[in-house]
Amino acid sequence: MTHIKKTNRLSKFWKLLGPGLVTGASDDDPSGIATYSQAGAAYGLSTLWTSIIAFPLMAAIQQMCAKIGIVTSLGLTGTLKKHYPRPVLYLMLLFSFPAIVMNIGADIAGMGAVGNLLFPAVDASFFSVFFTLLLLGLIIYLPYLRIAAILKYLCIVMLVYFVVPFLYKQDLGAILKATFIPTIRFNKNFIAILVGILGTTISPYLFFWQASVEVEETKNREARLIVDKKLIDEIKTDVDFGMTFSGLVMYFIILTTGTVLFKAGVHQIDTVEQAALALKPLAGNLAYLLFAAGVIGTGLIAIPVLSGSLSYIFSETFGWEEGLDKKFHEAKGFYIIIAISLLLGLSLNYIGISPVNALIYTAILYGLTAPVLIAIILHISNNKKIMGEYVNGRTTNILGFAALIIMSVAAGLLLYLQFVD
């Protein structure tokens, strides 16, 4: 009887999870994995503490975005369009488009390269094209509820990263110390890694996706949703779980590369395939295979989120029909933007922009837009005319303003580092 109750509780909890879980999982995309691998390989366990700091900041911002979507029945772009000057909206569009396309390009290249590692007889470019066309076909062909279910179950693939570190002997004392006692080195490279981690963790595309997909979710509920405290609490649970999951994946990737690669003297990692390949002789075939399979799984989650967020931004800006629940002929503009973003991302590999450079450019653009967007999200979330009784509480505001300050400092450092030798 107790077993049945536990199963029912787990089943209810799994049903409760949705956009928050997928958003969290998509944050650990192949380009994010590359950044965390760079941190671990270059500095060992020194950046483990960042996952503890990043979690509450991520959760607070994503909760605000989710609430905006539920309360206003508009995505973040739609809310900006309705309540803010048009130049703000167009500025976000100007920065978001190249950043998201380059992020998609880096992810496609990473998936292709890892596919080639697993099946060396097949060229990496073939895998890149295959994954692009596969995702494009699934996004256009499948209805939203099916896509949401697939993305949700794909999140399970990411559990492999919780296993990989334990295939190698670990020093628990050193891990606990690095987790709870922050290490900061005041040199250009270490600061650049910290800024990179923050940039890839608190990414603007997630803000747009979270708000829009919450609206999409409400459209697909059988009963009409009433916004009340219970619904807000359910959304908070979903977002908190998703961000916790994201933070743990980040933590275990840094732990893996920070123990296995760093200790073996492998300090320079530029791409995910380099990280996977370096693990093979040091931690064994199983660690290598799990790490590589995880990269492909995360890419399959992240790319629909990236392209979908960009499409929501465009569609809401120009008043097009939108939604993954609509068929292609019902929302042509929406799906054409998804197709263009995927194909442009794929083409970056053929026009001389390397995945490493794409990551750097993406981080700069995200770094510039994130503080502005966080400030706007905070303003919306505290505006009673927009949010009514669901304005932010004190704790959410404290965390939101902390995120704003930290991301503003990170943006300033990022710009400074670009111009310092």
Name the residue with tokens 């973040």.
Answer: 76
Q: For 267-285, how does the pLDDT look when each residue is reduced to its tens digit (9 = 90+)?
A: 888 888 888 888 877 767 8
SS3 letters for 155-196?
HHHHHHHHHHHHHCCCCHHHHHHHHHCCCCCCCHHHHHHHHH
Digit-coded pLDDT (tens) for 330-368 = 999 999 999 999 999 999 888 877 777 787 778 778 877
CA distances from 13 to 10, 27, 237, 241 (A): 5, 21, 9, 10
145 has a pLDDT exceeding 80: no
Distance separating alpha carbons of residues 117 and 123, to the nearest angstrom: 9
**In the predicted model, is pLDDT for residue 126 greater than 80?**
yes
Task: Return the pLDDT at 50.
Answer: 92
pLDDT band at 309 (very low <50, low <70, confident <90, very high): very high
User: What is the average per-residue pLDDT within 279-307?
Assistant: 84
Percent of the chain predicted with pLDDT > 90:
29
Determine the residue type at 287: A
Residue 307 pLDDT grade (very low, low, confident, very high; cuts 50, 70, 90) = very high
> 346 to each of 105, 129, 277, 339, how far by Cα in Å?
5, 7, 23, 11
Say if residue 222's pLDDT is above 60.
no
What pLDDT sits at residue 152?
76
- Per-residue pLDDT, 15: 67
For residue 353, the model assigns a pLDDT of 78
Task: Report the C-alpha gap between 171 and 41 in whole angstroms.
Answer: 16
* Cβ atoms 93, 317 nearer than 8 A: yes
Q: How many whole angstroms separate alpha carbon 210 and alpha carbon 63?
A: 9
84 contact partners, CB below 8 Å, separation of at least 6:
376
What pLDDT sits at residue 335? 95
Instruction: Say whether pLDDT at 17 is over 70.
Output: no
Residue 221, pLDDT score: 61
- What's the confidence (pLDDT) of residue 281? 75
pLDDT band at 416 (very low <50, low <70, confident <90, very high): confident
CA 84 – CA 77 distance, rounded (Å): 10
Residue 6: what pLDDT? 56
| pLDDT greater at residue 228 or residue 237 | 237
pLDDT (0 to 100) of residue 156: 76
Average pLDDT over the chain, rounded to an integer: 85
Q: How many of the other CB atoms lie within 10 Å of CB of 384?
A: 9
Distance in angstroms (rounded) separating the CA atoms of residues 11 and 3: 12
Closest CA to 314 of 348, 339, 346, 347: 339
pLDDT tens digits, 161-170: 887 777 777 7
Q: CA-CA distances (angstroms) from residue 273 to 33, 100, 251?
A: 10, 21, 19
370-409, pLDDT tens digit by residue?
Answer: 888 899 999 999 999 998 888 999 999 999 999 999 888 8
Which residues have a Cβ under 8 Å from the Cβ of 175 and sit 6 or more positions away?
45, 48, 255
Query: 190: Cβ–Cβ under 8 A, 6 or more apart, which residues?
Result: 43, 46, 184
In whole angstroms, what is the distance from residue 157 CA to residue 68 CA?
Answer: 30
Mean pLDDT of 87-103: 86
In this prediction, residue 8 carries a pLDDT of 66
Q: What is the pTM of this model?
A: 0.88
Among the ranges 262-271, 327-336, 409-418, which has the highest mean pLDDT value? 327-336
Q: Which helix (H) or strand (E) holds 278?
A: helix 272-283
pLDDT at 169 (0 to 100): 77
